[in-house]
Chain A
Amino acid sequence: MAKIAMYWGAGCGGCDVSLLGIHEALLDLLDVLEIVFWPCATDFKYEDLEKMKDKSIDVAFYNGAIRTEENEHIAKLLRKKAKLLVAYGSCASKGCVIGLANLSTKEDIFDAAYLHNESTKNPDGIVPQEKAGDLELPAILPYLKTLDQVVEVDAVIPGCPPPTPVLVEALNALLEGKTTFGKEVALCDECPRKDTKPDKIEITKFYRWHEKEDNGDCFLAQNMICMGPATRAGCGGECIAANIPCTGCMGTVSRVKDQGASMMSAIASLMEEEMDEEKERELIASIHDMVGTFYKYSAARLLPKGRLKDES
């Protein structure tokens, strides 16, 4: 019986649900594995984990990112106790949407969350404290970190959350001790709209997907940014099947390091070739949020120490 652990770090919980979401496949897996730690689904305490022998867990999955001292502590503990440590999902591997928080300081985040926003009335200015009496909360780290920014990681299961086929393939591979799995082609390759992707695309204006009626063709051909060409296949084009362009949650194929840079490069090649510089500027200015568009899932990698502060 392979011993496995699953931890929920700084994430939305969707990754935990995705593991339950493989349905019957989970029943088959339960025959060959033993869950020794999974706070979301079973009643284990941190002390139980601390008491385990080093390397006694065969595969430990870490989902969510690292935003608190507690997350960091458990990441290190799991590293010690497990033979294989796996970054499960986009938060753990790339920082994901919550990694966009690295564009703001911790103080700004607390201010927006607890003090100044449209839906909060907090006249006494009460903000959660790390210590109150004998109660203690884990400290929030200055910036969000991915798992591999803290400890060595043996394998990555991509996706926000990992789509079922990706997950089932990964789990089976990992239980056989394999740490590489998944497809090494771009999402366009398996996209339900791929037959409508023309050989030559000429972007003359950028539309956000609510700004234009979808004609059912490839989104890029409709001048809507779709991360498909820079995104790793595996989900089958879930979002596209729901008529939404891909935003890139699966990350990239392994030979590409920087998904955002790779997509920006692709977009520059798809814009009409000889437009004048003025028009180029105007067009690019209409992409409102470069980090949010091209680094939606990897801002924590782009800004590991937060937004920089250039003088002037």
Chain B
Amino acid sequence: MSFEPKIVAFLCNWCAYAGADMAGTSRIKYPANVVPIRVMCSGRVDPEFVLDAFEKGADGVFIGGCHPGDCHYVSGNYRTRKRVIMMKKLLQEMGINPARLRLEWVSATEGKKFATVIEEFVNEIKELGPSPEGE
């Protein structure tokens, strides 16, 4: 049986979540591996959420936010971008491939983009295999 990764996706209410919705209403298909979690802003995604997701067995964590300049809370996504860079560095030191964490900007109208990046990400995680568990 092929490996079906578990992916947690934190999606901001105003852009990425609306984008995912758009993909749904336009009947654009994307893999069912994703568990979407709606947050008000990508800036709400604390590094702790990401670590928690990995600890609980996620194989990949996706964060979707508004394009730079478009965050409904002005600068939440700039903060997120910095956090993600830091988190990737931390994951590397912990022995987790940083590619398992991905940040993308998806606007409310970009249903197609949402489906494409999710599919790309799922395929990438399939290549990487399950998250390491330790002995």
B48 in contact with A262 (CB, 8 Å): yes
Asked if B128 lies at the interface with its beta carbon under 8 angstroms from chain A, I say yes
Q: Size band of the A side of the interface?
A: 35 or more
B48 in contact with A291 (CB, 8 Å): no
Asked if B82 lies at the interface with its beta carbon under 8 angstroms from chain A, I say yes
| Given A274-B78, A287-B89: A305 touches B133 (CB 8 Å cut-off) | yes
Asked if B90 lies at the interface with its beta carbon under 8 angstroms from chain A, I say yes
Asked if B33 lies at the interface with its beta carbon under 8 angstroms from chain A, I say no
Asked if B96 lies at the interface with its beta carbon under 8 angstroms from chain A, I say yes
Asked if B79 lies at the interface with its beta carbon under 8 angstroms from chain A, I say yes
B128 in contact with A307 (CB, 8 Å): no
A271 in contact with B82 (CB, 8 Å): yes
The distance in angstroms between the C-alpha atoms of A307 and B95, with both chains bound, is: 6
The distance in angstroms between the C-alpha atoms of A280 and B48, with both chains bound, is: 20
Asked if A284 lies at the interface with its beta carbon under 8 angstroms from chain B, I say yes
8 Å CB contact of B86 from A103, A290, A307:
A290
- Which residues of A273-312 are within 8 A (CB) of B? 273-274, 277, 280-281, 284-285, 287, 289-291, 294, 302-312
Interface string of B29-68 (1 = CB under 8 A from A): 0000000000000000011100100000000000000000
How many interface residues does B have (CB within 8 Å)?
29
B134 in contact with A284 (CB, 8 Å): no
B90 in contact with A310 (CB, 8 Å): no
When C-beta atoms are compared, the residue in chain A nearest to B129 turns out to be A311
| Given A261-B47, A261-B48, A265-B47: A309 touches B82 (CB 8 Å cut-off) | no
The distance in angstroms between the C-alpha atoms of A281 and B89, with both chains bound, is: 10
B46 in contact with A289 (CB, 8 Å): no
Asked if A77 lies at the interface with its beta carbon under 8 angstroms from chain B, I say no
Interface string of B96-128 (1 = CB under 8 A from A): 110010000000000000000000000000001
Set of chain A residues within 8 Å of B80, measured between Cβ atoms? 268
The distance in angstroms between the C-alpha atoms of A45 and B14, with both chains bound, is: 65
The distance in angstroms between the C-alpha atoms of A8 and B82, with both chains bound, is: 41
A264 in contact with B87 (CB, 8 Å): yes
| Given A264-B90, A308-B95, A309-B95: A258 touches B82 (CB 8 Å cut-off) | no
Set of chain B residues within 8 Å of A306, measured between Cβ atoms? 134-135
When C-beta atoms are compared, the residue in chain B nearest to A291 turns out to be B93
Tell me how far the C-beta of A299 lies from the nearest C-beta in chain B, rounded to whole angstroms.
9
Asked if A142 lies at the interface with its beta carbon under 8 angstroms from chain B, I say yes
B78 in contact with A308 (CB, 8 Å): no
8 Å CB contact of A265 from B83, B100, B132:
B83
| Given A273-B75, A308-B134, A309-B132: A284 touches B89 (CB 8 Å cut-off) | yes
Set of chain A residues within 8 Å of B134, measured between Cβ atoms? 303-306, 308-309
Asked if A269 lies at the interface with its beta carbon under 8 angstroms from chain B, I say yes
A290 in contact with B95 (CB, 8 Å): no
8 Å CB contact of A268 from B48, B79, B95, B129:
B79
Asked if B1 lies at the interface with its beta carbon under 8 angstroms from chain A, I say no
Asked if A53 lies at the interface with its beta carbon under 8 angstroms from chain B, I say no
The distance in angstroms between the C-alpha atoms of A210 and B78, with both chains bound, is: 30
B51 in contact with A258 (CB, 8 Å): yes
B47 in contact with A264 (CB, 8 Å): yes
Asked if A212 lies at the interface with its beta carbon under 8 angstroms from chain B, I say no
Asked if A23 lies at the interface with its beta carbon under 8 angstroms from chain B, I say no
Q: Name 19 A/B residue pairs within 8 A (Cβ), A-sorted.
A: A258-B47, A258-B48, A262-B47, A264-B47, A264-B87, A265-B83, A267-B82, A268-B82, A284-B86, A290-B86, A290-B93, A304-B134, A305-B135, A308-B96, A309-B132, A310-B95, A310-B131, A311-B132, A312-B128
Besides the known contacts A103-B93, A308-B134, A310-B95, 6 further A-B residue pairs in the complex with CB atoms under 8 A apart: A260-B47, A268-B82, A273-B75, A277-B81, A290-B86, A309-B134
Chain B residues within 8 Å of A, Cβ to Cβ: 46-48, 51, 75, 78-83, 85-87, 89-90, 93-97, 100, 128-129, 131-135
5 residue pairs, one from A and one from B, having the closest CB atoms? A305-B134, A308-B95, A261-B47, A268-B82, A308-B132
Chain A residues within 8 Å of B, Cβ to Cβ: 103, 142, 257-258, 260-262, 264-265, 267-269, 271, 273-274, 277, 280-281, 284-285, 287, 289-291, 294, 302-312
